[in-house]
Structure 1
Amino acid sequence: MEPAEHAPTPSTPRPSGPGPRPAPSVAAGTTSTAPDPSTRDAADVARDLGVDLDVGLSRAEAARRLAENGPNDLRETLPVPLWRRVLAQFQDPLVYLLLVAVAISLVAWIVEGAEGLPIDSVVILAIVILNAVLGYVQEQRAESAVAALRDMTAATSTVLRDGELRTVASAELVTGDVLVLAEGDAVGADARLFAATALRVSESSLTGESEAVTKNTRTLPEPAPLGDRLDMVFRGTAVAQGVGRAVVTSTGMGTQMGAIAEMLEATEADPTPLQREISSVSKLLGITVIAIAVVVMVTIALVNQVDELSDAVTVLLLGVSLAVAAVPEGLPAILSVVLAIGVQRLARRNAVVKKLSSVETLGSASVICSDKTGTLTKNEMTIECIVTASGRVDLTGVGYRPDGVALHKGHRLEDSRLAREARIALGGGMLANEAQLLERDGEWQIQGDPTEAAFLVAARKLDRTIEEAAHYERQGSVPFTSERKRMSVLGRRDTDGQLVLISKGAPDVLLSFCTHVVVGEDVVELDDARRERILADVEGLSAQAFRTLAVAYRPADDLEPADGSADLDESAEHDLVYVGVVGIIDPPRDEVALAVREAHRAGIRVVMITGDHPATAARIAADLGIVEPGAEALTGRELDAIDDDELTLVVRRVSIYARVAPEHKLRIVDALQADGLVVAMTGDGVNDAPALKSADIGVAMGITGTEVTKEAGDMILGDDNFATIVAAVRQGRVIFDNIRKFLRYLLSSNMGEVLTVFLGVVLAGVIGLAGASDEHVVLPLLATQILWINLVTDSGPALAMGVDPEIDDVMARRPRALTDRIIDGRMWSGVISIGLVMAVATLVTIDVFLPGGLIDGTDTLDVARTAGFTTLVLAQLFNALNSRSETTTAFHRLFVNRWLWGALALGVVLQVAVVEVPVLQHAFGTASLDLAHWGVCVALASAVLWFDELRKWVWRVRHPEVPA
């Protein structure tokens, strides 16, 4: 049934949906030769297409056209060759840097004599290859998951060919085919209607409007917006009610869906914030590494007067080792593993992420733009209230599941005259109905128009209503049309054989045929005062964004057919008894309001962008807490009236957009991005696809989403649940925190190695290194020891931190701005200060055990250097505990990450082995240490932990208002 449109007056035309598109050019016969078939008579369109509407195309002609023009499919993106997909895994600045490090290490190995294996080069290259394999495998997994979400049954259409009805694959439709449409059919191509009986089509996937559109065959006088082309049906829509026939005018890329796909192809996807950040970090590290290597090598050469080839090779090898040490070579692999684990966690929450970096992008989102129908709402029309002469009844429960109760003023409805009126209203709506409500495997589904199905659901919430309706046998009907705005059925009551005419329609229209009204057990005259009250009730429901339908009836013994068959027409609709009006709405999903509150708590705006009516959009947005009650929606026509500069200002304050076209959605997303915001766009319809691709992250619906939308999205929700998006935001923020954790750890640890060598060379005379050996170049650490430190301390703890649980409440923070860096000034300060403490602790350890210097020791250079080497390793392991938070004490949730403790334990075991196992001693230039040595190493290494605890405490005292 067509509900009354809550427009200012009944004569107000329906606001337009997406604007008219110029007809696609005739390419390979896929479109009609007419510029706009909706403005031409159907017979003329058929003649141009060379088809007899009574016979259809011949099978031979259909086959010829299919061979000439190709299948009725959207153009698919050419698959990327395997070699290009593999090569793409190496296209990253940090990977380039590591490959340069491999080359330099090989040169140094050759200069040194090419003895044994170039271990450092092999290790770095293995890490690069591992990273590429991880990235490739994860992308393959994501593609497989996306493919699993697709409907595996091929769509079919019924066509007239050679005068016979045939079912063919929709991909085989050609221009000129005569489509035969019935309730429940998916429309396989754009087509011009030439026959329609009570035909209503759901176009929400194309226009975003949740209410089915009534179609007719009348030629339009001029081009109209897409949603107002009532004599056309479009690919990707579905028949909600009635029957019709239409001649196919466009197939494949020539359809309206194809036009949106063209727009999608022209929309470029921007790199994610994480990709931009890692690229920036990689470039910065590249410059830093070159600078460090050059400065250290020049300093060593000047301080030690290097003039022999062997000494030069030593300096060069140390410079390369430092360069490798300064680069967190495990970063790409660790980053891929951490993101892949995040992807798997989201997959368990019914979210499929197609690209690893997209996980973090959601965590950076500052705006979530969401479609309404099916995303924020259930896309299940629901009767929420019934207003009769005796008052208002509210029905609980939403959607097609008939669970709920009737309430009056907040209390359960008792058996009263109001209850009787409500039962008559719902019973009448249930009888004057073409829909069906079915239960399959515990799930409730409908066939037919969703608005009509709402009566069936509401009636089941009042058991006696079903019983009363069951006593009627349908005798005839007068169908609904957009001109009449009402329908009627004739029913015979089996208890006494009485005929009753039940009518349902737009309240203002139906009321004009009513002379009486039901009041409890009585039927009283409908005077002017009662009529005004009813209209006021309807206006009140419309103000609450309800779609309204009224129900009336009359005894119809005068319609008793003489020959036993009812011949009913609209002349029977007179002297009706008004019963009441129902308020219908597409209700919000139960969990969305909580998800919106959580998003707001995280500083994320939720913006509704829909093709639905402005009042409906405003009501739903207010119910969900997206906006305050009373906020107004901006329409597509109003958007057309403002330029891009003004739109950039408008998007800062407006959070509801209604009656929008695909190009409007794209403009809104672009304007938000131009304002420096990270935008996530959700949607399910074809009309959402371009905006999804343009957004920083596109979130497609997996159940109701079209294939075009899923292809455009970065993430697909398997449960179409908005709450899953907010859960993904939390996961994204946790992942970003973990990325900062291991970056903080890796950079500060590597800084400790660089500063140890640099200060050890500069201060060699102060700490007793100068003169400790006959060699010209005496270093605090050997090149092999530096590589060992990277092997032991970099990968394990960093990877464990990458899967650290949520330590702080990440949703208590505002989204990070695009101008915020992963490595900001505060992190750099911590990296340098922690690195300096590590270097000082290491050099003090060497000084303690080495003769001479500030503290006179008694051990050999090998023992002192081994002790310093051990202190630096242990300091980095302590630093792993520091790095879990930049502000929270390391002792908060200290033992929640068993992987981290496992990595630390493994690091200690390996360090003991390299110090005490003879084979490793020879390979890495170490010497055994006694318990006193180990005690000093542990004590000095722990200085890193206590220093950072003091630094965090000072920051918390100075910034008590900032959440951790």
Structure 2
Amino acid sequence: MAPFSRAKDPKLTPLDALETRTPQEIAEHFGVDAEQGLSAAEAERRLNEYGPNELRTTERESAFVRFLRQFADPLVYLLLVAIGISVVAWAAEGAEGLPIDGIVVAVIVLANAVLGFVQENKAADAVAALSAMTATRATVLRDGLMVSVPASEIVVGDVLVLGEGDAVGADARLVSATSLQVQEASLTGESTGVTKSVDTLDAPQQIGDRVNLVFKGTAVARGVGRAIVTRTGMDTEMGRVATLLDATESEPSPLEREIARVSRTLGILVIAIAVVVMLALVLVNGVHSVAEAIQVLLLGVSLAVAAVPEGLPAILSLVLAIGVRVLAQRNAVMKDLHSAETLGSVSVIASDKTGTLTKNEMTVREVVTASGRVTLEGVGYTPKGKLLAPSLAVLAEAALVLNGGARANNAQLAKVDGSWQIQGDPTEAAFLVAERKLEAAGPIPALERLGEVPFSSERKMMSVIGRREDGTASILAKGAPDVLLDRCASEYVDGSEVPLTAERRDYWQAQIRDLAEQGYRTLGVALRDADECECDAFDDSCERDLVFVGVASIIDPARDESVQAIAEAHGAGIKVVMITGDHPITAARIAQDLGIVGAGEQARTLTGAQLDAMDAAALVEAARDVSVYARVSPEHKLRIIAALREGGAIVSMTGDGVNDAPALKSADIGIAMGITGTEVTKQASHMILGDDNYATIVAAVRQGRVIFDNIKKFMRYLLSSNMGEVATIFLGVVFGGLIGLADPANPAATVVPLLATQILWVNLVTDSGPALAMGVDPEVDDVMARAPRRPDARVIDGHMWSRMISIGLVMGVVNLVIYDLMLPGGFLAGMTEGVPESEQLAVARTTVFTSLVMMQLFNALNSRSDMSSAFTHLFSNRWLWISFAVAIVAQIAVVEVPLLQSAFGTVGLDAVHWLIAVAAGAFVLAFEEVVKVIRRRVIHR
């Protein structure tokens, strides 16, 4: 055997032209038994020695580069220029003392950069954790058992077990293939699947013609197979084109685009206001020195920087990341952050029944044969329970049904660590469990499988051919009873084959209907003897002239939590749609049990055949009323989604099979089953259910609405608070002179309510902390008590704009009143009596400065709800109160600590002035409380 050494050969193998090598050569070369796979210990050794099976991704920027990028903003550039000019002016005037303004602004710019860097890092870490949670998995043979492992842990020599819907985890040489077809469009661009074979090719071929190889990044469209891994990671064919994947750029989401649009609009408006303020100061006061010019410039730039919410995108990403992490903790894993914003708008939840609305604990409950019925005791996958039969003849017939269902089967049942576990389809596993319950009645006949025609959603059946111990061959088939009956010519009755007459077909249809009305899923089993030529060339043409042996009824009990979740969805204005391959009668009965339709109400059900007879317009109309779709194929799901979306709905759709992938991709929120879903389905989805539970979908929708509400909260807070800053400066400069406000030391000059450093400080201490805290705010209003958000609804609508502008104006007016109280010449002057004339302006500014901080903190309480009082769940968000405490302590320090006083132009305040500042904040809270009371009365009128 040739040595296996990646260190000597970066391709992981010295073998070229793998398609010309036999499976035996490949197995010998890589030191693996194709029937047993690698041992767990050997697989671990190879993984440690040769590294994970991963494609190289674009290297993450260094921390230093990411930190420097925080300064890459035009407004920050202006501040940096202003700092430079300030320092130059200080030097030109003699460089006495320190350039306080320049230093303070530089420190604030640095602090903002640090905050942005931390927020960006946290969001990036959350995305990385999300990628780990949604990583592709693969089934491999280890120590003779099929085990599911992350695709990154596949090693050269592993034996891949491939089935319909699996993502191929690495490049591999096939050692077995049955009706195996692989979609290789990701590598070749060909949309049609490639039919695979184990035959060894005579000469090397181009990638599209290497029919005995499978490649990483492709998907199994149908059939089953096994293959020995020959290359992993960057040595695969997909690794050769990995650079193309690195170049792919994601498009901004609608919310990102709206935030960018708001930021641009607000930026233009604020810059215009800043220019007006600067011009007003120049025209009224004049500019008599470089220092004064610098002060005017710094004020204008600071106003623009503070008012434009340049931190919105970073806070948005972090809030979405935190929300997505909460969803993941509740078994709903979003594959990208911005799908969470769509989740809260879902108006239709279209769901599979099995495993989502039900427990996915498939159990054979009854077997119906030509002579009677057998009842099986026990539930779940533990093979314990008696078979209750009226006679030995009926028991023998039932045994044939269960043996046939267990042989036409690709699932695996094994006892692991003391508990029974399944690998594969739960319905198939139910037959394995039921067959083991037969062991008490006698030995189970062995069958050497020779070939298979796999199950597909279109065929609704599967069949195998195998050789019995006596050397004879049999064909065994399992599938939907009505489909199977069409392929049968006779039936098995008391040990004999008798013709299947029209009367007997009616009998079987009646039995199937009776089981369906009881809510059972039904599967039929048929068989016949096979001849040698069929053993050599077994395909679907052999599925004829079968002998029908009976029907197994399988129960999958509804989840108790599904009933409550469906009621909650209905209360939230969400339409619940059930899509199933079951019989229409079974589907209607389960829909009633689950509450999808009202008690005593007849569910309107559409079948796949009826869908085929409808044109697009008719289906759009029907989809408005239909809640149950039965006997549908995955192709029908695509039409159902299109019809619902055409009708104006935001649709979530669940799926698990490979053919569900197009439907999931076209849905607004495609949801893949995390337990039973195929890897292809998971790749096509937006969300993966960790527990395949319908209640998790509804809980995720609730959380999606909370996330969206929180986004609106911090946007309402940031924008209205920033408008308060703009209004304070604008009203103070423009109207201060009109009402006679003046600097006692220079009565001819118009006074500015805030200094540039003070504006930047307010932005620093009140923006990031409270905004982030509101991003994780618990539910204040009952988000499921209102209808879904309209698809065309703006995040910031006209009502929200009016509320933000009104709050901003209230802040500006209140600060103007406070300023008027503090300075001589105003209508209400008098609060600075006893204050030295040289300190009156500083006291006034410090009071306004502190009032603005308090108003913004109180405004955070207002912003938690558009309708509910700020006192609703007042203390439910501890992070908000922590951010308040940090901001207040910081503000006290800026006002009272001498070193910071000189840096920010503040002076110490007495109790009266602190009380005025707090009262100003309380006034903003009271104003909004009154507005909310009026709005609640108007809406409930």
**What secondary structure is seen at the aligned counterpart in 2 of 1:958?**
helix
2:512 paired residue number: 538
**For 1:706-725, what aligned pairs fall within 5 Å after superposition?**
709-711=681-683, 713-725=685-697
Cα distance in 1 for residues equivalent to 2:910 and 2:29: 94
2:58 paired residue number: 80
**For 1:585-604, what aligned pairs fall within 5 Å after superposition?**
591-592=561-562, 594-604=564-574
Flag the 1:832–1:516 CA change in 2: closer, same or farther, 3 A.
same
The question of whether the paired residues in 2 share the 8 Å contact of 1:651 and 1:668 is answered with yes
Cα distance in 2 for residues equivalent to 1:620 and 1:233: 44
Q: Does residue 714 of structure 2 align to residue 742 of structure 1?
A: yes
Cα distance in 2 for residues equivalent to 1:760 and 1:947: 21
Task: Look up the equivalent residue of 2:417 and give its one-letter code.
Answer: D
- Give 2:553's match in structure 1, choosing from 564, 583, 586: 583
Cα distance in 1 for residues equivalent to 2:425 and 2:652: 32
The question of whether the paired residues in 2 share the 8 Å contact of 1:369 and 1:606 is answered with yes
Cα distance in 1 for residues equivalent to 2:905 and 2:247: 61
Task: Look up the equivalent residue of 1:808 and give its one-letter code.
Answer: D
Q: Which digits, 9 at most, give the CA deviation of each residue in 1:215-238, with x for residues without a partner? A: 999xxxxxxxxxxxxx99998669
Cα distance in 2 for residues equivalent to 1:89 and 1:305: 40
**What secondary structure is seen at the aligned counterpart in 2 of 1:113?**
helix
**For 1:482-497, what aligned pairs fall within 5 Å after superposition?**
none
2:742 paired residue number: 770
The question of whether the paired residues in 1 share the 8 Å contact of 2:183 and 2:219 is answered with no
The question of whether the paired residues in 1 share the 8 Å contact of 2:859 and 2:925 is answered with yes
- Give 1:281's match in structure 2, choosing from 246, 262, 267: 262
Q: Does residue 863 of structure 2 align to residue 883 of structure 1?
A: yes
- Give 1:344's match in structure 2, choosing from 325, 340, 364: 325
Q: CA deviation at 1:385?
A: 4.5
Flag the 1:509–1:937 CA change in 2: closer, same or farther, 3 A.
closer
Q: Which has the higher contact order (CA 8 A, sep 6+)?
A: 1
Deviating more after overlay: 333-342 vs 646-655: 646-655
The question of whether the paired residues in 2 share the 8 Å contact of 1:753 and 1:839 is answered with yes
Q: Does residue 524 of structure 2 align to residue 549 of structure 1?
A: yes
**What secondary structure is seen at the aligned counterpart in 2 of 1:823?**
coil
Q: CA deviation at 1:307?
A: 6.4
The question of whether the paired residues in 1 share the 8 Å contact of 2:661 and 2:680 is answered with yes
2:340 paired residue number: 359
Q: CA deviation at 1:887?
A: 0.7
Q: Which digits, 9 at most, give the CA deviation of each residue in 1:731-762, with x for residues without a partner? A: 22222222222222222222222112211223
The question of whether the paired residues in 2 share the 8 Å contact of 1:240 and 1:450 is answered with no
Flag the 1:907–1:104 CA change in 2: closer, same or farther, 3 A.
same
The question of whether the paired residues in 1 share the 8 Å contact of 2:401 and 2:549 is answered with no
Flag the 1:247–1:542 CA change in 2: closer, same or farther, 3 A.
farther
Deviating more after overlay: 396-405 vs 478-487: 478-487
Flag the 1:606–1:441 CA change in 2: closer, same or farther, 3 A.
farther
1:109 paired residue number: 86
Q: CA deviation at 1:325?
A: 2.2
Task: Look up the equivalent residue of 1:537 and give its one-letter code.
Answer: Q
**Long gaps (5+) in structure 2:** 1-15, 31-52, 92-98, 144-153, 186-195, 199-211, 454-460, 479-483, 529-544
Cα distance in 2 for residues equivalent to 1:665 and 1:790: 50
Deviating more after overlay: 375-384 vs 941-950: 375-384
2:44 paired residue number: none
Cα distance in 1 for residues equivalent to 2:310 and 2:852: 19
Q: Which digits, 9 at most, give the CA deviation of each residue in 1:790-827, with x for residues without a partner? A: 23322222222222211121122233233222222112
Computed over aligned residues only, the root mean square deviation of the Cα atoms, in angstroms, reads 6.3
Q: Does residue 100 of structure 2 align to residue 127 of structure 1?
A: no
Flag the 1:945–1:740 CA change in 2: closer, same or farther, 3 A.
same
Q: Which digits, 9 at most, give the CA deviation of each residue in 1:362-401, with x for residues without a partner? A: 2334455656776666676543544579998888987535
Task: Look up the equivalent residue of 2:819 and give its one-letter code.
Answer: I
The question of whether the paired residues in 2 share the 8 Å contact of 1:761 and 1:779 is answered with yes
1:843 paired residue number: 816
Deviating more after overlay: 951-960 vs 380-389: 380-389
Task: Look up the equivalent residue of 1:867 and give its one-letter code.
Answer: T
**What secondary structure is seen at the aligned counterpart in 2 of 1:933?**
helix
Flag the 1:252–1:617 CA change in 2: closer, same or farther, 3 A.
farther
- Give 2:928's match in structure 1, choosing from 939, 948, 954: 948
**For 1:253-272, what aligned pairs fall within 5 Å after superposition?**
270-272=251-253
Flag the 1:824–1:457 CA change in 2: closer, same or farther, 3 A.
same
Cα distance in 2 for residues equivalent to 1:180 and 1:878: 61
Q: CA deviation at 1:951?
A: 0.3
The question of whether the paired residues in 2 share the 8 Å contact of 1:426 and 1:459 is answered with no
TM-score with structure 2 setting the length = 0.68
- Give 1:912's match in structure 2, choosing from 870, 880, 892: 892
- Give 1:440's match in structure 2, choosing from 416, 426, 437: 416
**What secondary structure is seen at the aligned counterpart in 2 of 1:364?**
coil
**What secondary structure is seen at the aligned counterpart in 1 of 2:865?**
coil
TM-score with structure 1 setting the length = 0.67
Q: Does residue 774 of structure 2 align to residue 801 of structure 1?
A: yes
Q: Which digits, 9 at most, give the CA deviation of each residue in 1:171-194, with x for residues without a partner? A: 789xxxx99999999999999999
Task: Look up the equivalent residue of 1:922 and give its one-letter code.
Answer: S
The question of whether the paired residues in 2 share the 8 Å contact of 1:751 and 1:836 is answered with yes
**For 1:311-390, what aligned pairs fall within 5 Å after superposition?**
311-368=292-349, 382-387=363-368
Q: Which digits, 9 at most, give the CA deviation of each residue in 1:262-283, with x for residues without a partner? A: x999999653333233222222
1:757 paired residue number: 729
Q: Does residue 900 of structure 2 align to residue 924 of structure 1?
A: no
Cα distance in 2 for residues equivalent to 1:754 and 1:187: 58
Flag the 1:621–1:122 CA change in 2: closer, same or farther, 3 A.
farther
- Give 1:865's match in structure 2, choosing from 845, 850, 854: 845
Q: Does residue 614 of structure 2 align to residue 629 of structure 1?
A: no
Q: CA deviation at 1:296?
A: 2.3
1:43 paired residue number: none
Q: CA deviation at 1:956?
A: 0.3
Q: CA deviation at 1:654?
A: 6.6
**What secondary structure is seen at the aligned counterpart in 2 of 1:893?**
coil
**What secondary structure is seen at the aligned counterpart in 1 of 2:634?**
coil
**Long gaps (5+) in structure 1:** 1-29, 33-48, 62-74, 159-168, 207-214, 218-230, 407-414, 493-500, 519-524, 554-573
1:823 paired residue number: 796
1:521 paired residue number: none
Cα distance in 2 for residues equivalent to 1:451 and 1:636: 26
Flag the 1:765–1:592 CA change in 2: closer, same or farther, 3 A.
same
1:566 paired residue number: none
Deviating more after overlay: 737-746 vs 136-145: 136-145
The question of whether the paired residues in 2 share the 8 Å contact of 1:789 and 1:873 is answered with yes
1:210 paired residue number: none
Cα distance in 2 for residues equivalent to 1:847 and 1:320: 25
The question of whether the paired residues in 2 share the 8 Å contact of 1:366 and 1:603 is answered with yes
Query: Percent identity, aligned pairs only?
Result: 50
2:760 paired residue number: 787
Task: Look up the equivalent residue of 1:109 and give its one-letter code.
Answer: S
2:131 paired residue number: 146
Task: Look up the equivalent residue of 1:905 and give its one-letter code.
Answer: A
How many corresponding residue pairs?
819
Cα distance in 1 for residues equivalent to 2:855 and 2:780: 22
Cα distance in 2 for residues equivalent to 1:700 and 1:180: 21
- Give 1:292's match in structure 2, choosing from 256, 273, 287: 273
Q: CA deviation at 1:833?
A: 1.5
Task: Look up the equivalent residue of 1:878 and give its one-letter code.
Answer: F
Cα distance in 1 for residues equivalent to 2:157 and 2:466: 40
Cα distance in 2 for residues equivalent to 1:423 and 1:814: 55
Q: CA deviation at 1:882?
A: 1.3
Cα distance in 1 for residues equivalent to 2:506 and 2:644: 46
Q: Does residue 732 of structure 2 align to residue 732 of structure 1?
A: no
**What secondary structure is seen at the aligned counterpart in 1 of 2:603?**
coil
Q: Does residue 634 of structure 2 align to residue 660 of structure 1?
A: yes
Cα distance in 2 for residues equivalent to 1:84 and 1:709: 35
Cα distance in 1 for residues equivalent to 2:142 and 2:752: 80
Flag the 1:719–1:326 CA change in 2: closer, same or farther, 3 A.
same
The question of whether the paired residues in 2 share the 8 Å contact of 1:202 and 1:238 is answered with yes
Flag the 1:895–1:616 CA change in 2: closer, same or farther, 3 A.
same
Flag the 1:450–1:144 CA change in 2: closer, same or farther, 3 A.
closer
Flag the 1:307–1:374 CA change in 2: closer, same or farther, 3 A.
same
1:4 paired residue number: none
